[in-house]
Each structure stands twice: as C-alpha cells, then as structure tokens.
Amino acid sequence: MSEIDSYLKNHESLLYTYHITPEIKRIADKYGFLEYMVERYLEFLGDQTEDFLSSCSLPLTKSIRCNSLKVNCGELEKRLADRGFSLTKIWWSRFGYRVEKSPPRPSLGATVEYMKGFYYIQGEASMIPPEVLSPREGELVLDMASSPGGKTTHMAQLMNNRGTIVAVEKNPSRLRKIKSNISRLGVSNVVLLSMSGEEVSRLGMEFDRILLDAPCSGEGLIPLDPSRKTKTAPEDLKNFQRTQLTLLVSGFRVLRRGGFMVYSTCSIAPEEDEVIVDFAVKYLGMKVERIHGIPGERGLTSFKGISFSPELSGCIRTYPHLQYTEGFFICLLKKE
C-alpha cells in the first residue's frame, strides 16, 4: 500500500463518519445544504455556521485584476470610470480592484478595455495564491493546474513577463480558454503543455516556485454556484483528496530545495485543505511559511478528532461571511 493510500485509510473513519442530529437536519433543510456538510460546518465554524450559510445566498462583489503588462492601472481606473464603473483598490493586492458600481451597459466582460486585455475578471480570493507565491522576474515557475489561466497570467504579471512559467493542463476543452486569456493579456513567458500535473517529473526540471491550485469540490464557490450546496457527496471528496495528494507529491518531487509551493483550493472542506497540507508537513517534511498581510482566518489545527501540525495555523481560509469573498484555502510551503 502506498503512503498516500495508508494516509487516507488512517483518516477515513474519522473524516467520513457523520452524526446527524435533528438540529443539523433543521439547518440543512432551512438553507438547502446536504446534512453532512452542515455537520462539518458546525465543527469548524461553530456559532458562525448560520452566518456562513446565509451569506452563501448573497451575491459577491465583482472584482478585476488590472493587467499592468498592458496598461497603467491609474489609466484603467479612469477609463472604466468614464464608462460608469466605480472601482476601489483591494488594499492587500498589487493589481486587484472591487467593482462597486457598474453601468447597465456594457457588462464588465464586454468593454473595449476587456477586449484589449487591460483587465481580467477574477474573484478576490483567487488573487491570493499568486500574491502569496510571489514569483520573481527570471525564476522558473510551475503551474500544476492552469485552467482557465487567471492565476497563470497573474503570476506572469508579477514576473513582468520575465523568466518562465510552465503551465500544464490535460483537458483539451480547457486549453482553448487558457490560450485565449494568455493572448488577450499579452503574456509572453508561459509555456503551455498538454499534460497532467501528475506527470511533471517527465520534464526533468527543478522549479523555483510551484503553484498547486488543486482540482477540488468547489465548496467555496457556493455563492457563485448554488448547485454546489448539494453537488458533492463524501465519496467525491475522497476522490478529490487522492488527486490532491498525488499532485502534491508530484509537485514536491520537482520543487528545488529551498523552493516554495502554494497549495490552494476554492474549497473550505478541511478534507481537501488541512488534511492535504498536513501530509506535506508530516510525510514530505515541508515547512509551512506563515502568511502575513492578507485578510483571512487561520488554518485549522484540528478537525473531527484529527490533530494537524500546529504550523497549519500559518495557512489562511477565506469565507463569504467574514472576508466577503468566495471561500478559499491558501498555504505557503517550503521544501527544506
């Protein structure tokens, strides 16, 4: 049995046994969520659970990332203001803006500025992983699950188009979207490969930094897609966990010593977040670098009777009822 198999087996009974009480049934019914999901929320959100559940029915403020590769951000603010958009700068982000007010026409995705590649429409929390990874000019960076290219192009922007980003994506239907975004945004330092992130060792390279924005259940995206309230079964979570751990190990193997990896998901499920990072710490010997200067709640250090490494409090989680963003998990790891 592989290390991943035994790790998953060891945690299975604690993670996937649920005690559904009448109160849990009542809350699940009230907000339209699956009962097992609510049981977990009560465990890690406690008395904030209903705040969270009700916030999932409210729309999120839209946000954009100004593309400094093509336009001066002050100039973009002015041009969009002339069209009736009102932007406020996201204080912790180098290029992010909240769209506080929009005109009836054009829509945010149909302006001439959008077509020119002056901005990318991107959830506020999804701007966090590239900012935390902070790739620098001249570095060799791996993006292990690139679609649809928002974080890839964000990293290229942070690198000022210098250095190389190797972006991998297996799904042919997703490649078209990434290619279009790379072209529109004027990103010239990305090599896009049609391959799975699990195969990256075939490249025979060592990377300075790696972004593993892992495929996940999307449990943080419920405000954007209410169908996710009832979409994911525990069995699906198990499948995601296996994929996430496999990708993590693949990424670890091609990360240079002293290099950094960001592990992130658009899920608030601890099964896909802390459980995966705890494997990185305990089995791969990676170190969690505490994230500063980004709004978020601290990573969990225990869940359903499982104690995680105390370092995991250095990771961050975002929630719609607290940060007013999509739910996200972000952790910065170092290979010692």
Partner 1 sequence: MRKVRTEQFSRALHEYGCDRFPANFELYEIGDIIYGTMGDPNILEGIMRRDVKVEMIGLPLLLRRGRKLVPLLALGDYMAKSCSHRVRLPDRIIEKILYGRTVTVKETYNFRKGLLIDGHSDFVAFITLRSRKKGTEIIPDLDIGWYLRAGG
Which parts of this chain interact with partner 1 (CB under 8 A)?
Answer: 70, 79, 109-110, 112, 114-117, 138, 140, 161-166, 169, 175-177, 179-184, 186-195, 202-205
Q: Is residue 266 annotated as part of the catalytic site, yes or no?
A: yes
Q: How far is the CB of 211 from partner 1 (least distance, A)?
A: 17
Determine contact, residues 118/66, Cβ cutoff 8 Å.
yes
Residue 114 C-beta: closest distance to partner 1, Å = 8
The letter for the amino acid at 46 is G
CA angle 302, 213, 190 (to 5 degrees): 155
Minimum distance, C-beta of residue 195 to partner 1, in the bound complex (Å): 6
Sign, CA torsion 249/250/256/258: negative
Residue 3 or 75 with smaller CB distance to partner 1: 75
Q: Which is nearer to partner 1, 4 or 193 (CB)?
A: 193
Give me 141's structure tokens. Answer: 């960076």
User: Which is it for the CA torsion 61, 90, 177, 254, positive or negative?
Assistant: negative
Cα distance between residue 176 and residue 305, in whole Å:
44
Query: Which CB sits closer to partner 1, 54 or 188?
Result: 188
Least CB distance to partner 1 at residue 115 (A): 4
Exposure of 118 by Cβ count < 10 A (0-12 exposed, 13-18 middle, 19+ buried)? buried
Distance, CA of 126 to chain centre: 5
Residue number, 254 or 276, with CB nearest to partner 1: 254
Q: Which residue, 162 or 242, is less far from partner 1 as judged by CB?
A: 162
Are 185 and 158 within 8 A, CB to CB?
Answer: no
How large is the C-alpha radius of gyration of the chain? 20
What is the smallest separation between the CB atom of 79 and partner 1, expressed in angstroms?
A: 8
Helix (H, G, I), strand (E, B) or coil at 259: strand
- Which of these, 28, 19, 18, 20, lies nearest to 50 by C-alpha position? 28
Candidate list 66, 266, 315, 331, residue with the active-site label: 266
Q: Would you name the residues annotated as active-site residues? A: 266
